[in-house]
Amino acid sequence: MPATPHFDFGPYAQILKTLLPRARGIYLYAPDGDLLWSADGADFHDLRPAIEELLQAAKQGASTISGLRRMLDEAPAYCFVLRDELGAVLGVTAVVCRGISRDGEVPTFESVERTLAPLLALTRRDLGQQRVIETGRFQIGDTQELEWLLDVTQLDAPAGGGDPLQGVLDAFAAHAECDLAYLYVPGRRLERNTTRCTLLAGELDTLRGVVSRHLHKVAQLQQKTLIVNKVRDTGAGGLVPFRILCVPLLRREQTLGVVVAFNRAQSRSFGSREARMLERVAPRLLEIIDVRIDGTTGLLTRHAFDEHAASLLARAGDAQRALVYADVDELRSVNELYGFDAGDEVLRAVGDAWRTLDLPGASATARVASDSFVALLDGCTIDEARTWAETARHAVSSAKLPGRLAGVTTAMSFGIAALPPGGTLEHALAGAESACQAAKGAGRNRVEAFATNDGRVATQQRDLRTYHELLEAFEHGRLRLYAQPLTPLWDPSRAGRYEILARLLDARGQIVPAEQFIDVARRHQLLLRLDEWVLAELLRQLGPMVGALTQAGAVFSVNVSAQSLQQAALADQIGAAIRSAGLPPAVLSFEISESALVGRLAETARFVDAVGALGCGTSIDDFGTGVTSLAYLKTLRVSALKIDGVFVADLLREPRSESMVRAILHIARQLELDTVAECVESKEAAAQLATLGVTYGQGTALGAPRPLAEILDELARKAAPPRGEPEAHAAIVKRVH
């Protein structure tokens, strides 16, 4: 099959990143192995053996192989074969995730495949349709019956936001002229039925029992189509006056459920035509289920919820609507104490509780993230939505967990926002999510409503926007490195030093205040990722500058967060990165704030010793504000102390601040440590600090932060040889740029 150069995988990759946040590389390959698309536009050659192995197996007829997992050093890679409905290979999509620590648990191929099942189904469908357009031929026979099959088994939701599963069952029952069609998938808490005849009292319950207690078990054992045209006994002395056609829903030799057609005894028998039709419908039903029904809770997926909401909001009218957003409280603790299977049990219990709630009008509920749920309530005011959310909260709190979790209680925090006529789902969702975060901040297991004049909720919403901007910045390259000089105050012979600062650009290219996005990164566990990016980008820019840096003796200080210090292999990773960049270790120094030391003295000491052995320096940032300063200085073999700016800002007018600076300097001299004064905002303050003996000063009076590229360009020019050696000078400048 030829490659498909016009297939844009970008939107699918965005969905994939939402489903699998640890993904750092996404690739799509053609059946012949050519790269069709990648996130960075380049191939990943370490993946090639796995891609070739999968495609070779596909050529040899291994139709049961759905993919594989490979470890690329410490980074797991997952490769998935994409096939059409006849089993022909459409391509391979591959995902490379961020590295797993030595003690970390690598997710299995099956668990990642379940997570990505909706996306894989969408990709198979759209890639298959693209191939049909390009080749000009259909891959299913062009008969009237199969044309009908294509019409009724589309994955897209019907116009008006209807249920596509119900639509397929209705269409099959009408075309096959059967009296009743029934879909049963217990793992998804899913049942659907359609009837074309009048059922007597209790008959539907009887047939439901036949499906769940008998037919599903038979399908699990036989895994093939079953036709029973004789009236059968229920096993309890009663007759079921229906003929039966049962087709299993199979995936990798597992029976996930069944789809069953019933005809009354006086109706015609089932034959090969009806069996063939239902067998063709079964895999399409599975695809719809994968895309639209969450595998753990049985609620809608985010994709299906967005489709339903778009259809609902497109309707004319001035109906009031509200959005409810909720997070499961303390799910992470359950995962850590009992394992991820236990966490799934909690999510299933929450899903069961939500599905028992009455929903007004065209409302819908969905699981939109790992522990996040949402409800779009049609025709509801804020007060009515609060009542519904309180009911949901009590239902979740009353949920009973099985087995070893019997003593664990479940709880959720809820946020509510109005969705007025003309409003957007995104705006309402952001408001509800902010209100949910406010509920968590107020003690959890409660309901909060979003109000534009609520300062606390407004702050939450701003932080939420910053969080999303930070995630997008990682993906779209909107992070920048700046550097601020640390100027020698009394010894001009000392080499220059610089502190490396990260800057975030929003979607409009404006700089987000550092204190705002750094705080958000800390609270949402993104500092480790930010630290990794800073070090990698710094080494990338410094690598070509070895000669100029050696001549200038410049040192660049990098902040290390508490989240990074928790990584046991951090120093080893830094050493490997420095060697790979070909830089002398002395060009780097690492700053650790006093707050990061709290409860991590042993880990910090190991890190300081390890990077010191490499040849890198270390310093304590914000020194003087912690309560254990003197105690940890006995343990940490650092090379410098950075005096907290609170003592420097009012140095000239507050004698106590000068006394504190003198005390810190006395300690530093006894330990033979350099000192750096932060927040030097005037020449007078710099002169006083020099008189006291502070080694370096940092602040706007001595130099504002500037893009790192500008600093390196200046260092390159200073290192340039005298006139008469233009070729060497050009080589240095070329390395800088």
> How high is the pLDDT of residue 217?
93
Instruction: Give the pLDDT confidence of 445-472 residue by residue, as tens digits.
Output: 999 998 765 555 566 667 777 888 888 8
Q: Which of 64, 58, 74 is nearest to 24 (CA)?
A: 74
CA distance 141 to 605: 70
> How high is the pLDDT of residue 26?
94
CA distance 556 to 547: 15
DSSP characters for 451-494? -TT-HHHHHHHHHHHHHHHHHHHHHHT-EEEEEEEEEESS-TTS
pLDDT for residue 141 is more than 60: no
Tell me the average pLDDT across 336-350. 89
Instruction: Give the pLDDT confidence of 17-31 residue by residue, as tens digits.
Output: 888 888 989 999 999
Q: In which band, very low, low, confident or very high, does the pLDDT at 736 lie, cut at 50, 70 and 90?
A: very low
Q: Where are the beta strands (DSSP E) in 650-732?
A: 674-677, 696-697, 706-707
Q: In which band, very low, low, confident or very high, does the pLDDT at 85 lie, cut at 50, 70 and 90?
A: low
What are 605's two structure tokens? Answer: 């000491």
The structure tokens 């499906």 sit at: 211
Q: In which band, very low, low, confident or very high, does the pLDDT at 421 lie, cut at 50, 70 and 90?
A: confident
Instruction: Give the pLDDT confidence of 383-397 residue by residue, as tens digits.
Output: 999 999 999 999 999
CA distance 10 to 119: 12
Q: Which of 565, 552, 650 is nearest to 599 (CA)?
A: 565
Tell me the average pLDDT across 540-547. 91
Q: Which of 116-130, 144-158, 198-212 has the lowest mean pLDDT?
A: 144-158
pLDDT for residue 644 is more than 60: yes
> How high is the pLDDT of residue 609?
93
Q: Which of 98-102, 277-281, 409-413, 487-491 has the lowest mean pLDDT?
A: 98-102
Q: In which band, very low, low, confident or very high, does the pLDDT at 630 lie, cut at 50, 70 and 90?
A: low
Computed on alpha carbons and rounded to an integer, the radius of gyration of the chain in Å comes to 32
Query: Which one has a higher pLDDT value, 64 or 383?
Result: 383
DSSP character at residue 9: -
Q: In which band, very low, low, confident or very high, does the pLDDT at 340 lie, cut at 50, 70 and 90?
A: confident
Q: In 399-444, where does DSSP find H-type helix?
A: 425-441
> How high is the pLDDT of residue 106?
86
> How high is the pLDDT of residue 396?
95
> How high is the pLDDT of residue 375?
96
Tell me the average pLDDT across 173-198. 92
Distances in whole angstroms, Cα of residue 193 to Cα of each of 229, 441, 521, 622:
20, 44, 48, 66
> How high is the pLDDT of residue 125?
80
> How high is the pLDDT of residue 406?
79
Q: In which band, very low, low, confident or very high, does the pLDDT at 322 lie, cut at 50, 70 and 90?
A: very high
Instruction: Give the pLDDT confidence of 559-616 residue by residue, as tens digits.
Output: 999 889 888 899 999 999 999 999 999 999 999 987 777 667 888 899 999 999 999 9
| Contact between residue 86 and residue 63 where contact means Cβ atoms under 8 Å apart | no
pLDDT for residue 178 is more than 90: yes
Enter the pTM of the model: 0.53
- Rounded (to 5) percent helix, strand, coil in the chain: 45, 20, 30
Tell me the average pLDDT across 42-57. 89
Tell me the average pLDDT across 730-737. 44
> How high is the pLDDT of residue 496?
84
| Contact between residue 539 and residue 578 where contact means Cβ atoms under 8 Å apart | yes
> What percentage of residues in the chain have a pLDDT greater than 90?
42
What are 69's two structure tokens? Answer: 């997992």
pLDDT for residue 144 is more than 70: no
pLDDT for residue 361 is more than 90: no
Chain mean pLDDT for the chain: 85
Tell me the average pLDDT across 226-248. 77
> How high is the pLDDT of residue 128?
78
Domains, in order of start, for the chain: 10-135 (3.30.450.190), 144-292 (3.30.450.40), 319-451 (3.30.70.270), 468-638+705-731 (3.20.20.450)
